[in-house]
């Protein structure tokens, strides 16, 4: 049976739709969002109306019931428009709505998932802490059951959507004697008593993304807001590997944006009497950019295909896609700056933003070092 590398007609139409939406509805907001370091929150209901927040969720929850490949098309096109805005949308769908869909009760899905798909509420995932990043089992946040509720204490940091989320999926130890397996997941409402501070974090790149430190001081969480109890944490985290794939797709989109700008600039800029694209030093850079981006794209969609089949290769290819796409976007963004020369270093053109945004690809959703660990383990090493 031949391998078909073409998107289906439905997927091609979807790509055209999201590209048109991105260029007309989101792109005009980027400069202000970056300058003010503020996510344009009003686009969430629009994204919900278009079905973009429910791509892979069943119709019964307001989704459109499509596949991971289509979700990656969306992530790639969003990354091409703006990495920070794409990051917030991915965090909402992949990191907060997916756990509710996978593990939530009917009541939890009614309260959080359905309005989340509609864009009426925004979610976040509270996992990382000041002293626990890659080693999630080392978190210190605790939740103690008392009088039919849980009392949550701890600090979470680098939380995407942190200050604007209406609910946060929070990981906390309910039994500190059980390393890792004693962790549970809770749905914490933004107005919960004891959810005291949401400190905005200012960043090198992804400035339009809402990122914050969250503080819980004797935060009261109703018993019915327990999402995953002890022993289910590993399973919950495993379902989030899909976020690595969409993040890799976002990196491909950002790479594409940097490449397209450098290519166009090289055709317009002249030096020594001819377009700089005609110089071998520049043309070879652009050719290699195109090869690397296409290679990363193929790996991303292969990972999405494995993920959709839920087969044994999904974990390995997801980490491969995340790792390689992170390397590619940083290299492409660096070379794009080089193609523009001094103009690439100034703020007049967007390549300096692409350069700043690219670095995060090797850090978030599991560092590149962690991806090496996962790949090596999957190879039996």
> What is the set of domains in the chain, with CATH numbers?
9-121 (1.10.540.10), 124-230 (2.40.110.10), 240-378 (1.20.140.10)
Assess contact for 94 and 125: CB atoms under 8 A.
no
The residue annotated as part of the active site, out of 34, 213, 335, 365, is 365
C-beta of residue 352 within 8 angstroms of C-beta of residue 333: no
Residue 197: closest CA among 177, 219, 213, 175: 213
Spatial separation of the C-alpha atoms in residues 277 and 125, rounded to whole Å? 44
Report whether 95 contacts 245 (CB < 8 A). no
Q: How far apart are the first and last CA of the chain?
A: 33
CA 110 to chain centre: 24
**CA atoms of 154 and 347, how far apart (whole Å):** 39
Active site residue 313: no
Return per-residue pLDDT of the chain as tens, 381 residues: 567 888 999 999 999 999 999 999 999 999 999 999 999 999 999 999 999 999 999 999 999 999 999 999 999 999 999 999 999 999 999 999 999 999 999 999 999 999 999 999 999 999 999 998 888 889 999 999 999 999 999 999 999 999 999 999 999 999 988 887 899 999 999 999 999 888 999 999 999 999 999 999 999 999 999 999 987 778 777 777 899 999 999 999 999 999 999 999 999 999 999 999 999 999 999 999 999 999 999 999 999 999 999 888 999 999 999 999 999 999 999 999 999 999 999 999 999 999 999 999 999 989 999 999 999 999 999
pLDDT at res. 197: 82
According to DSSP H, which parts of the chain are helical? Answer: 9-21, 27-36, 43-49, 68-81, 83-90, 98-103, 106-108, 114-118, 233-239, 241-268, 280-309, 314-340, 342-345, 351-358, 368-378
Q: How far apart are CA 173 and CA 224, in angstroms?
A: 17
Q: Which two tokens stand for residue 234?
A: 């590993």
The sign of the torsion formed by the CA atoms of 161, 163, 168, 172 equals positive
DSSP letter assigned to residue 127: -
Residue 33 near residue 39 (C-beta atoms within 8 A): yes
How many other CB atoms sit within 10 Å of the CB of residue 62?
18
Nearest to 186 by CA among 146, 230, 218, 244: 230
Ramachandran area for residue 115 (φ above 0: left; ψ -120 to 50: alpha; else beta):
alpha
- Dist CA 54 CA 67 (whole Å): 10
Return d(Cα 126, Cα 122) in angstroms, integer.
13
Helix or strand holding residue 167 (H, E) = strand 167-173
- Rounded to 5 degrees, what are φ and ψ at 259? -65, -45
Give the residue carrying structure tokens 């001819």.
274
Measured between alpha carbons, how far is residue 196 from residues 146, 153, 193, 199, 321 in Å?
A: 20, 11, 8, 10, 38
Q: Any residues with CB less than 8 A from the CB of 108 and at least 6 apart, and which?
A: 100, 187, 224, 225, 227
Q: Residue with structure tokens 């209406």?
A: 166
């Amino acid at each position: 049976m031949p391998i078909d590398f073409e998107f289906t007609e439905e997927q091609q139409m979807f790509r055209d739709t999201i590209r048109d939406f991105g260029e007309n509805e989101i792109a005009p907001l980027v400069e202000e969002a970056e300058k003010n370091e503020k996510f344009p929150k009003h686009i969430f209901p629009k994204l919900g109306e278009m079905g973009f927040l429910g791509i892979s969720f069943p119709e019964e929850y307001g989704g459109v019931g499509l596949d991971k490949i289509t979700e990656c098309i969306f992530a790639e096109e969003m990354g091409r428009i703006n990495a920070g805005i794409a990051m917030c949308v991915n965090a909402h769908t992949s990191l907060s709505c997916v756990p509710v869909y996978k593990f939530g009760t009917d009541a939890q899905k009614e309260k959080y998932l359905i309005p989340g798909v509609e864009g009426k509420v925004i979610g976040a995932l509270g996992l990382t802490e000041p002293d626990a990043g890659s080693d999630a089992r080392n978190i210190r946040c605790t939740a103690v059951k008392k009088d039919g509720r849980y009392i949550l204490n701890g600090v979470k940091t680098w939380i995407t959507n942190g200050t604007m989320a209406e609910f946060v999926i929070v990981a906390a130890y309910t039994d500190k004697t059980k390393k890792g397996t004693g962790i549970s997941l809770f749905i914490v409402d933004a107005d919960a008593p004891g959810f005291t501070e949401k400190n905005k974090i200012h960043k090198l790149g992804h400035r339009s993304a809402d990122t914050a430190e969250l503080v819980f001081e004797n935060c009261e969480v109703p018993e019915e807001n327990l999402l995953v109890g002890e022993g289910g944490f590993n399973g919950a985290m495993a379902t989030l590997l899909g976020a690595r794939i969409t993040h890799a797709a976002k990196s491909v989109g950002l790479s594409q944006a940097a490449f397209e700008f450098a290519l166009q600039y090289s055709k317009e800029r002249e030096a020594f009497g001819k377009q700089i694209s005609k110089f071998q030093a520049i043309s070879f850079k652009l050719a290699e950019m195109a090869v690397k981006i296409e290679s990363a794209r193929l790996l991303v969609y292969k990972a999405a295909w494995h993920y959709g089949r839920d087969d044994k290769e999904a974990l390995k290819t997801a980490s491969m896609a995340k790792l390689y796409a992170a390397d590619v976007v940083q290299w492409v963004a660096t070379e794009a700056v080089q193609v523009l020369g001094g103009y690439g270093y100034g703020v007049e053109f967007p390549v300096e933003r692409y350069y700043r945004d690219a670095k995060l690809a090797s850090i978030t959703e599991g560092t590149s070092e962690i991806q090496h660990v996962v790949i090596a383990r999957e190879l039996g090493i």
